[in-house]
Amino acid sequence: MFNKCSLLYKQLAEQMLIERYSLKRLEDRFDNESKIFLYDKDKENNGLKYFCLFNNAYVERLPKKEYSIFINFLNQPENENIENLLKIVAETYHKVLENGEREKFCLCLNSSNNYPTKDTIIFEFKDNKEFDSNGNYIQPNEEKKTIVFENVKIQYEKLVHEKTGDNICLIRI
């Protein structure tokens, strides 16, 4: 039940943060401006082609009352209002998504900031690598993708922080 609760929380948090951070508009920018990124058409996530929430949802950090509301929803979804869950997520996501060791390690490798904060929200950018007809990795295209991604990443992270006060980090693994 704990894993289901964590997964539900993460899905709801991701849905809320997509709106909060205007991630669909960012995806449009990658699609329309650069035309160099490829996505897996079978792996859309909460309506996004490229991005997914990387942070784990540590639901054990929820107050007992809020945690029990999630458990009740999983046991009897017809009796619970999804709006209640979204409200809880909006009030607790900084604490529940706060970085654990997995996220801290990833931030150290991928952050444009010198010292990432514990409450940084991480979104992973997933795009397909390109290969030629012989199955060889096309390096020049990947270098161009990296340059475009890094430039957009820096601008976007700063913009979101200025607009929402949240610390975010886009990573491309």
In this predicted model, what pLDDT tens digit does every residue of 18-59 receive, in sequence order? Answer: 999 999 999 888 877 667 887 777 676 778 888 999 999 999
Task: Report the pLDDT value the prediction gives residue 112, as an integer from 0 to 100.
Answer: 55
If we measure between CA atoms, which residue out of 116, 118, 91 comes closest to residue 12? 91
Q: Does pLDDT of 102 surpass 60?
A: yes
Mean pLDDT of the chain: 85
User: If pLDDT is split at 50, 70 and 90, which confidence band does 146 have?
Assistant: confident
The Cα–Cα gap between 103 and 119 comes to 10
Task: Report the pLDDT value the prediction gives residue 33, as an integer from 0 to 100.
Answer: 61
Q: What is the mean pLDDT of residues 62-70?
A: 94
Q: What is the mean pLDDT of residues 83-90?
A: 94
The Cα–Cα gap between 137 and 49 comes to 22
Q: Does pLDDT of 133 surpass 70?
A: yes
**DSSP letters of 91-143?**
HHHHHHT---HHHHHHHHHH-SSSS--TT-EEEEE-----B-TTS-B-HHHHH
Task: Report the pLDDT value the prediction gives residue 44, as an integer from 0 to 100.
Answer: 65
Residue 158 or residue 135, greater confidence: 158
Task: Report the pLDDT value the prediction gives residue 87, as an integer from 0 to 100.
Answer: 95
Task: Report the pLDDT value the prediction gives residue 108, as an integer from 0 to 100.
Answer: 67
Q: What is the mean pLDDT of residues 77-82?
A: 75
Q: Does pLDDT of 114 surpass 60?
A: no
